[in-house]
Amino acid sequence: MADFTLVDTHTHLNDSKFAGSEAEVIARANEAGVTRLINMGDTLQSSAKAVELAATYDGVYAGVGIHPEEIYELGTADDEQLTAWTREKRVVAIGEIGLDYYWEKDEEKRALQRRMFIHQLDLARQLQRNGTGNLQNGLVYRR
């Protein structure tokens, strides 16, 4: 066993393609020395799954947020849900958030991405959580 800890700071074990095999994948990661995993939500549904996995498995943590490709005008109910999740066990970040201009070419939708990126970063600041996500090909933002 490695004498250091490896942390995968951005996984998607909450993706439906891993449904039912999460324990096996986590065990394989642990055998390889990766003892901490942070699952990123990219929608409300996948954020809920990330929270569930964090509550279920030791060494598994969660980020909750809406990915730029999935973003919409977030309302009070969305903010309250994201806020409530940050109070759950091992929820450590607001993510996956960011800007994705590689796929998004529409200027109005890019403007929405910018507004909601700032909105979710502000939520992260208020909740004293890290914001994490991507900016085109990858950026990790740390408050």
Taking CB under 5 A as the criterion, which residues in 49-108 touch Zn ion?
Answer: 96
What is the per-residue binding string for Zn ion in 105-134, x denoting contact by CB under 5 A? ------------------------------
Residue number, 31 or 133, with CB nearest to Zn ion: 133
Judge contact between 36 and 58, C-beta under 8 A.
Answer: no
Amino acid at 89: K
Residue number, 4 or 103, with CB nearest to Zn ion: 103
Task: Report in angstroms how near the CB of residue 59 gets to Zn ion at its nearest.
Answer: 19
Residue number, 96 or 100, with CB nearest to Zn ion: 96
* Residue whose CB is nearest to Zn ion in the complex, by number: 96
Dist. CA 28–CA 24, nearest whole Å: 6
Which tokens hold the place of 43? 């929608």
Task: Report in angstroms how near the CB of residue 76 gets to Zn ion at its nearest.
Answer: 26
Question: Between the CA atoms of 97, 103, 104 and 105, what dihedral angle is there, to the nearest 10 degrees?
Answer: 150
Dist. CA 16–CA 2, nearest whole Å: 30
Which tokens hold the place of 120? 């979710």
Task: Determine the size of the site formed for Zn ion (CB under 5 A).
Answer: 2
Task: Report in angstroms how near the CB of residue 87 gets to Zn ion at its nearest.
Answer: 23
Q: 95-117 burial, b if ≥16 CB within 10 A, otherwise e? A: bbbbbbeeebeeeebeebbeebb
Region near Zn ion per CB under 5 A, out of 1-9, 40-48, 68-76, 79-87: 40-48
* Residues within the interface to Zn ion (CB under 5 A): 40, 96
